[in-house]
C-alpha cells in the first residue's frame, strides 16, 4: 500500500510499504477514505519530536471503512464506517474508566521509554513517534487500529467524510480547550493561534456562550476565518496584543486564555522571542513558549489558561511567580477524544456546526509530501489539508 512516511527533518515521502495485519484479537484493519495533516504533524516534520525513525508512517487524523476485525472485537464488523480518535484507548484501565483517555495506562507499547521521559507513560498515539508507542499512522491506504473495539467512533448515514473526519482530533481538541475553561456568560476568552485547533476553539467558545471571543494570529486568511466564526481579531504583527486585550476588557484582561500554538511560536519583535530562537538554535531549549508567557501576563487574576497546543520538552524563562501570585489555573494535556465524540457527533448531525468549513485543500496521496511544506509555510491560503488516498 502507499503511505506518507517520515525520513528525517522536512523529508516526508509517499512510499510503498507492506499492508498492515491483525496482530491482536481486539484489532481492526480499516481502508482509509480520508485523512488530514494536523498542525502537530508539523512538529514531527520540523524535527522537534524525538524518537522518530526513518520509514515511520505519519498521520493521526483519519477515518475509513472496516475491512477486517480481530476475533475478540465484537464492537465492529466489516463495512462499518468509523472515525479513529488519535489517542488509542484500552477502555479498561483506571484512567480510561475516569475518562482520562489521553493518559490510558495500557495503550502505549513503549511504556518503559515513556515512563523514563515523562515519569509515567501516557496513551499510545497513531503516527506520533516511538515515545507514544511507535504505531503506524493514518496517512496511508490501510491502518491497523489497536484496541479497535474501544478506539473508534461509528459514523451514521447521511454525513460526509469531511463533516466528521475532524472528530478524530482537531474538533474535540478545540472543544476540550474551551470546555476546560469552564466558560461563564460573562467571560472573555482570548485564543492564541487561528490554525485549525484555534478555529474550533473559537467556535466552541461561542457555542458554549462566551461573552466575547478574541483571536490572535498574523495570517490574514486565518484571521478572516476567525472573524467568520465570531471572534474579534488581533494581528500581532501590526498591533500590541497586550494593549488590545486590555482595551477590549476595560483594562482587566481576559478571564480565560487558550494557547492553540504550542512549541513553535513564531518569532515576533519581542525580546523573549529572540531569546527563544537563540536558545533553541544552540539546543539549550526545545520549545518556544512566547504564547505561554504572554497568556500568563495578560490573563485576569484568578483566570484560567487552557493549553491544547503541543509542547514537547523544556521551556525557559516562564514567569511562574507571576502565575502563582495571580492565582492562575492551568489546564492542559492531549485530548480525551472519546469523552467528547458522542456529543460532538450529535451536534454535527443536528446541524449546530459543520466542521468542513476549515478545509482549504483536498489532495491525493502523492501530493501529500508537498502539502506538508505548503501547510507549514501557510502558503496558498492553506489552513487544513485533507488527503484522499
Partner 1 sequence: MRTRGSDQARALAQGLGWFSIALGMAEVLAPHRVTRATGLHGHERLVSSYGMREIATGIGLLTAKDPAPWVWGRVGGDALDLGTLAAGVAGPDRERSGIAFLATLGIAALDIACALALQRPSRPAMAAFRKRSGLPKPPGAMRGAASDFVVPADMRTPEALRPWGSR
Cell of 346: 450529535
From the list 180, 188, 273, 335, which residue makes contact with partner 1 (rule: CB under 8 A)?
180
Q: Which is nearer to partner 1, 30 or 206 (CB)?
A: 206
Distance CA 358, CA 252 (A): 32
Taking residues 9 to 48 in sequence order and writing x for each that binds partner 1 by CB under 8 A, - otherwise, the string is: ----------------------------------------
Cβ atoms of residues 143 and 30 within 8 Å: yes
Distance CA 116, CA 362 (A): 40
If binding is defined by CB under 8 A, does position 242 make contact with partner 1?
no
Contact segment (CB under 8 A) with partner 1 among 38-46, 71-79, 213-221, 244-252 equals 213-221
State the minimum distance, in angstroms, from the CB of residue 194 to partner 1.
Answer: 10
Cβ atoms of residues 20 and 29 within 8 Å: yes
From the list 36, 148, 225, 386, which residue makes contact with partner 1 (rule: CB under 8 A)?
225
Q: Which is nearer to partner 1, 18 or 185 (CB)?
A: 185
If binding is defined by CB under 8 A, does position 96 make contact with partner 1?
no
**Binding-site size, partner 1 (CB under 8 A):** 48
20: Cβ–Cβ under 8 A, 6 or more apart, which residues?
Answer: 29, 136, 142, 143, 144
Sign of CA dihedral 99, 59, 76, 163: positive
State the minimum distance, in angstroms, from the CB of residue 142 to partner 1.
Answer: 30
Phi, psi of 104 (to 5 degrees): -50, 135
Distance CA 176, CA 198 (A): 11
251: three-class secondary structure by DSSP: coil
From the list 209, 313, 364, 370, which residue makes contact with partner 1 (rule: CB under 8 A)?
209
If binding is defined by CB under 8 A, does position 325 make contact with partner 1?
no
Phi, psi of 46 (to 5 degrees): -85, 0
69: three-class secondary structure by DSSP: strand
Distance CA 176, CA 104 (A): 17
Number of CB atoms found within 10 A of residue 58's CB: 27
If binding is defined by CB under 8 A, does position 204 make contact with partner 1?
yes
If binding is defined by CB under 8 A, does position 224 make contact with partner 1?
yes
If binding is defined by CB under 8 A, does position 354 make contact with partner 1?
yes
Cβ atoms of residues 151 and 168 within 8 Å: no
If binding is defined by CB under 8 A, does position 322 make contact with partner 1?
no
State the minimum distance, in angstroms, from the CB of residue 354 to partner 1.
Answer: 5
If binding is defined by CB under 8 A, does position 238 make contact with partner 1?
yes
Distance CA 254, CA 304 (A): 9
From the list 7, 111, 331, 376, which residue makes contact with partner 1 (rule: CB under 8 A)?
331
Angle between helices 290-298 and 241-248 (to 10 degrees): 30
Closest CA to 42 of 52, 34, 32: 52
From the list 302, 314, 318, 324, which residue makes contact with partner 1 (rule: CB under 8 A)?
302
If binding is defined by CB under 8 A, does position 221 make contact with partner 1?
yes
If binding is defined by CB under 8 A, does position 229 make contact with partner 1?
yes
If binding is defined by CB under 8 A, does position 353 make contact with partner 1?
yes
> Where along the sequence are the contacts to partner 1 (CB under 8 A)?
99, 179-180, 182, 184-185, 199, 203-204, 206-210, 219-222, 224-225, 227-230, 237-238, 302, 304, 327, 329, 331, 339, 343, 347, 351-358, 374, 377-381
Amino acid at each position: 500500500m502507499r503511505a506518507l512516511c517520515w525520513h528525517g527533518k522536512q523529508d516526508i515521502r509517499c512510499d510503498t510499504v507492506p499492508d498492515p495485519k491483525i496482530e491482536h484479537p481486539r484489532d481492526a484493519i480499516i481502508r482509509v477514505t480520508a485523512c488530514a495533516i494536523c498542525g502537530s504533524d508539523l512538529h514531527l516534520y520540523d524535527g522537534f519530536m524525538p524518537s522518530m525513525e526513518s520509514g515511520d508512517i505519519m498521520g493521526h487524523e483519519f477515518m475509513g471503512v472496516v475491512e477486517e476485525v480481530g476475533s475478540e472485537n465484537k464492537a465492529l464488523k466489516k463495512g462499518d464506517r468509523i472515525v479513529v480518535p488519535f489517542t488509542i484507548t484500552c477502555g479498561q484501565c483506571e484512567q480510561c474508566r475516569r475518562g482520562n483517555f489521553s493518559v490510558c495506562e495500557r495503550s502505549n507499547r513503549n511504556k518503559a521509554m515513556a515512563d523514563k521521559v515523562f515519569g509515567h507513560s501516557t496513551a499510545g498515539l497513531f503516527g506520533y513517534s516511538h515515545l507514544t508507542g511507535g504505531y503506524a499512522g493514518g496517512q496511508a491506504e490501510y491502518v491497523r487500529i489497536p484496541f479497535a473495539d474501544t478506539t473508534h467512533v461509528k459514523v451514521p448515514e447521511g454525513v460526509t467524510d469531511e463533516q466528521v473526519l475532524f472528530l478524530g482530533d482537531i474538533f474535540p481538541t478545540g472543544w476540550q480547550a474551551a470546555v476546560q475553561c469552564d466558560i461563564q456568560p460573562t467571560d472573555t476568552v482570548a485564543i492564541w493561534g487561528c490554525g485549525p485547533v484555534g478555529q474550533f476553539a473559537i467556535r466552541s467558545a461561542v457555542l458554549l456562550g462566551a461573552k466575547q471571543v478574541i483571536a490572535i494570529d498574523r495570517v490574514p486568511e486565518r484571521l478572516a476565518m476567525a472573524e467568520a466564526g465570531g471572534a474579534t481579531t488581533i494581528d500581532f504583527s501590526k498591533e500590541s496584543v497586550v494593549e488590545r486585550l486590555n482595551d477590549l476588557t476595560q483594562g482587566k484582561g481576559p478571564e480565560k486564555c487558550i494557547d492553540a500554538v504550542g512549541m513553535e511560536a513564531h518569532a515576533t519583535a519581542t525580546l523573549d522571542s529572540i531569546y527563544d530562537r537563540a536558545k533553541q538554535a544552540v539546543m539549550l531549549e526545545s520549545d518556544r513558549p512566547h504564547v505561554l508567557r504572554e497568556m500568563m501576563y495578560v490573563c485576569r487574576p484568578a483566570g484560567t489558561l487552557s493549553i491544547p497546543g503541543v509542547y514537547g520538552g523544556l521551556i525557559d524563562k516562564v514567569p511562574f511567580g507571576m502565575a502563582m501570585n495571580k492565582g492562575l489555573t492551568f489546564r492542559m494535556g492531549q485530548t480525551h477524544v472519546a469523552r467528547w465524540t458522542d456529543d460532538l457527533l450529535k451536534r454535527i448531525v443536528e446541524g449546530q456546526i459543520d466542521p468542513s468549513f476549515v478545509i482549504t485543500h483536498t489532495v491525493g496521496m502523492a501530493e501529500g509530501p508537498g502539502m506538508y511544506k505548503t501547510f507549514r509555510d501557510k502558503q496558498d491560503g492553506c489552513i487544513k489539508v485533507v488527503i484522499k488516498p
